[in-house]
Chains A and B, each alone.
Chain A
């Protein structure tokens, strides 16, 4: 026989002012099965909780209804209270009198009556509650980090230094990401490579880290703590164990005119190449799309010169299967390129370049060895126009967000330019200067006040070429929209930052949510910014939204902390509020008919096939089975199942039916 206790909280005046709690306690005490009903000013307080604990023991309660605030607020509090008094925590239910009644109604008899109905529904439900026990799943203490830019590097190092194994997958031949392309970094102007490359080397040499460069995620199965990962290691066409990275092959390769991606296509590389001198791993790959041997079937000059016979023309892509307990996504970002800005002559005029190209030109290791020169004729540009918000914050261009880093790097570009060309003049067209961050505003002030950059608030309507000059036509909105025409030698567009190519496909492989711009979505914008909605998959860096280096690194360390927290236990404990497929007596075994339509509706890929076998091993029936590690208890399958063969524990069909029935029968 059910012995239910009802505990009514006044929540100070939140509930007590609107609902007659004394009457509520009196009426509910007469409900069938209710053996104790009391009201109290603050049930969540220490004395309130003690009240519940003592009542459980004294009245030998089999179920508890706490009529208080939203279960989101204190369900765990009261379940813990019950647990401490020896009652299974899942035999405690919360009747939400605050959000569902007192906060939305005036003080009245009807409000009290509604409260009575709410409690009645929960009393009927709790009578059908069954004890549930937390689910334990083992944890594979290896993390997979996808993306080897600064965020991926930081996350990998932090997790590895925490004593756990890390597998880092980078799609390019070298780790380093966009940061390795940068000249100097704001707001301190320290050399990007000088601070990054030691980290890259540390990563490569770390005993806990396995690096797969030139590799991509092939597929992902499994769930938090137990991911099964397939990695496609693209054929580098060299034997990495034999290659010493001497670089002779690169020197001898006759294919010279391949645009160098690392230099943003401002220089050329060979068909067998190392992307940049400090690359990690510092071993070449053969670009099969451009290699003469792969195109025409002969050449093999690199093979002839290789002192260690490390060239492998017949090497195949390799699929590596690994297990991981957690995944950090750090796939970074990209920027909009030429075809996006026809009005600025981008792609048409050689001296209209993007921010990353300017970084390469300003970089000591870049195509001009750090001298700022025009790409068209190699002359020193005396007037350079920087255009911020090229594409960003522009609904007409389909990108409504702020790319965030451009204000700062444009100020940096203006400073770098002035440092290298003392008699040059930098102009910056901007919409707003967004320089929030430590020493950021001071940095932009420095660009304007000390380095003489002329900031013009307004947008550029078009750019055209005349007599070797780029005529930049814009408006100064702080001067009554006075037209501004500048004859520039070079124009740098701070083009919009966008999600890196392939983000959508990757998100679909991982079942991670992404927004309309293909950036991965965090679980909560404020309180869970480094987690995704898929348990065990975390975010680091610009793959979530455009970020600068300090932010990327912070988030990477945050993600690493989450991973280390996850790995601090041998088993994961989860709430058992998951869906289960019913089992019945033979010959039915289950009312499930195996249509598996639930499989397609499940957002978590938690539904598998289970064979019910006879003693001789023959298959009698195939039914759905829900993986408790993957199920998040959303209930989509329960709603879809035509035969009602799936039940959500804690919210079974019978419980919900009883709850609804209790409300309807009082109307």
Chain B
């Protein structure tokens, strides 16, 4: 962690970056994102298991852009978010300084986007046993039970859109739920509106989601959105036979590949 702090300090002092985005101690034993613009505050930086926020989410914000060049304390999940956003043209990878941190808070430096992708590739997503068992439990339900289950889960949704705010891939200036000409999705937090919102959110993330789980952790009413994402990831790899590494920089729902395993497209 000392090397992370040292590098962050150097970057700020030399004025190479204007802001360092990282984690600091929050209240009640939580960790929270912090924006450090003055190097004397660098010692606030921490990294541990409580730092689950995907900091890539801030990189597409106009307000952050206005501060100047950014350095990000990047966990594996944040790195994935960065690669995905760069592949969707939201910023140029070289315009961001990365303070990579591994699980133990040690500094990782990357010279290029390819190096980041290699690093991610060497560290596949690990789902917790709880996540896997919940997914299998839902899969084993009948259609009606599954429908009941999600209706029940979604019924708690208050449409605060914390899931959207926490997700690095939800960077649209005008989200579909905010578009009212026509009003595709009902903004009302009722059964239909909630169902529409969560289905469309899942569809918009299918093949793009980096499975960081930030959405589920942000949810104030504990809807297991991570399970939806996990299922989507499984479906995508099953139906498209595509590796996680490939998914990071490509969108399988929109590509034509002559070597696709399905013959019908030829």
Residues of A near any B CB (own CB < 8 A) = 504, 508, 516, 588, 591, 593-598, 600-601, 603, 622, 640, 642-645, 653-654, 657-658, 661
B174 touches A595 (CB 8 A): no
A644 to B255, CA, bound (A): 19
Interface residue from B173, B181, B251, B258 paired with A588 (Cβ < 8 Å) = B173
Residues of B near any A CB (own CB < 8 A) = 88-90, 171-176, 179, 181-182, 184, 204, 250-251, 253-256, 258, 266
Residues in B neighbouring A588, C-beta threshold 8 A: 173-174
Residue of B nearest to A596 (CB): B89
A473 to B204, CA, bound (A): 63
Closest chain B CB from A591 CB (angstroms):
4
Residues in A neighbouring B250, C-beta threshold 8 A: 600
Interface residue from A600, A603, A622, A643 paired with B176 (Cβ < 8 Å) = A643
Given A594-B90, A653-B182, A658-B182, 7 further pairs, Cβ under 8 A: A593-B90, A594-B89, A596-B88, A597-B251, A600-B256, A601-B254, A657-B184
Interface residue from A591, A597, A657 paired with B174 (Cβ < 8 Å) = A591
Residues in B neighbouring A653, C-beta threshold 8 A: 181-182, 184
A-B contact pairs, 8 of them (CB 8 A): A588-B173, A591-B172, A591-B174, A593-B172, A596-B88, A642-B176, A642-B204, A654-B181
A622 to B181, CA, bound (A): 23
Residue of A nearest to B263 (CB): A516
Closest chain B CB from A609 CB (angstroms):
9
A76 to B185, CA, bound (A): 35
Residues in A neighbouring B179, C-beta threshold 8 A: 591, 643-644
B89 touches A657 (CB 8 A): no
A661 to B183, CA, bound (A): 11
B89 touches A640 (CB 8 A): no
A657 touches B182 (CB 8 A): yes
A595 touches B88 (CB 8 A): yes
Interface residue from B88, B90, B172, B253 paired with A643 (Cβ < 8 Å) = B172
Most buried by B among A594, A603, A661: A594
Residues in B neighbouring A591, C-beta threshold 8 A: 172-174, 179
Residue of B nearest to A514 (CB): B266
Residues in B neighbouring A594, C-beta threshold 8 A: 89-90
A640 touches B174 (CB 8 A): no
Residues in B neighbouring A603, C-beta threshold 8 A: 256
- Indicate whether A595 sits within 8 Å of B254 (C-beta atoms), given known contacts A643-B174, A657-B182: no
Closest chain A CB from B175 CB (angstroms):
7
Most buried by A among B90, B174, B256: B174
A644 to B173, CA, bound (A): 11
B181 touches A640 (CB 8 A): no
B89 touches A595 (CB 8 A): yes
A588 to B179, CA, bound (A): 13
A593 touches B173 (CB 8 A): yes
Most buried by B among A596, A597, A657, A661: A597
A640 to B176, CA, bound (A): 12
- Indicate whether A622 sits within 8 Å of B89 (C-beta atoms), given known contacts A597-B251, A600-B254, A657-B182: yes
Residues in A neighbouring B88, C-beta threshold 8 A: 595-597
B253 touches A644 (CB 8 A): no
Closest chain A CB from B92 CB (angstroms):
11
Most buried by B among A588, A593, A596: A593
B89 touches A508 (CB 8 A): no
Residues in B neighbouring A597, C-beta threshold 8 A: 88, 251, 254
Residues in B neighbouring A593, C-beta threshold 8 A: 90, 171-173
- Indicate whether A654 sits within 8 Å of B182 (C-beta atoms), given known contacts A591-B173, A597-B254: yes
Residues in A neighbouring B184, C-beta threshold 8 A: 644, 653, 657
A642 to B207, CA, bound (A): 13
The 5 closest A-B pairs by CB, nearest first: A657-B182, A601-B254, A591-B174, A595-B88, A600-B254
Interface residue from B176, B251, B258 paired with A644 (Cβ < 8 Å) = B176
A508 touches B171 (CB 8 A): no
A598 touches B172 (CB 8 A): no
Closest chain A CB from B85 CB (angstroms):
9
Closest chain A CB from B174 CB (angstroms):
4
B172 touches A642 (CB 8 A): yes
Most buried by B among A588, A595, A645: A595
A643 touches B182 (CB 8 A): no
A643 touches B89 (CB 8 A): no
Residues in A neighbouring B253, C-beta threshold 8 A: 601, 640
Residue of A nearest to B174 (CB): A591
Closest chain A CB from B200 CB (angstroms):
9
A654 to B180, CA, bound (A): 10
A642 to B164, CA, bound (A): 13
Residue of B nearest to A584 (CB): B174
Most buried by A among B88, B89, B184, B253: B89
Residues in A neighbouring B173, C-beta threshold 8 A: 588, 591, 593, 643
Residue of B nearest to A593 (CB): B172
Most buried by B among A600, A653, A657: A600
